Amino acid sequence: MLTAQQLADACHCRLSVAQRWLGPTVQAMERYGIDTPQRQAAFLAQIAHESGRFQYVREIWGPTPAQRRYEGRADLGNTVPGDGRRFLGRGLIQITGRNNYRAAGLALEIDLIRAPERLEEPEFAALSAAWFWRSKGLNELADLGDFDKITRRINGGTNGIEDRRALWASARAALEQRCQQGQGPEGD
């Protein structure tokens, strides 16, 4: 089993933060097949970066020029006035837009259109990230070691790539330590 200390080491966060997020993160990884050291290391690195080391499960709203462009974006499903802010980035991978909230809600069996703030709850913040991960084919990219392509699928570019790579190295080291301590790659 992944320990809170290993999660803290992997994600560069305080132990108390890792303790809070351990259960939801492990549950999400198990549910969505993030079940090898390669997949887990890449996933942990990406969610750590996207959430500011588990500090943010809701996008900080300015609004910035980029956030203003959420409004009215048909590709995100933001067709109702106010959708841009209502469906801002939430969860550990920052699910954004009415269409993505609808799809995540169907997968997680919760109504995220009526209650988008549910993605701020640890359980759903982690599950939505793992759902997004699998739905975008990121397990397969992790199997290939294509971390930069994973970043582009999550971020649309390579924003924060150096931090993401540093977290990936830390996550691989933490998971390697777990295996050396006699625990299996799935945390058995």
On whether the CB atoms of residues 13 and 54 are closer than 8 A, the answer is yes
- Catalytic site residue 50? yes
Q: What is the rounded CA–CA span in Å between residue 130 and residue 121?
A: 14
Residues β-bridged to residue 70: none
On whether the CB atoms of residues 69 and 54 are closer than 8 A, the answer is no
Catalytic residue among 30, 50, 117, 140, which?
A: 50
Q: What is the rounded CA–CA span in Å between residue 146 and residue 5?
A: 27
Treating both helix axes as pointing N-terminal to C-terminal, what angle do 37-50 and 161-180 enclose, rounded to 10 degrees?
Answer: 140
Catalytically active residues are 50
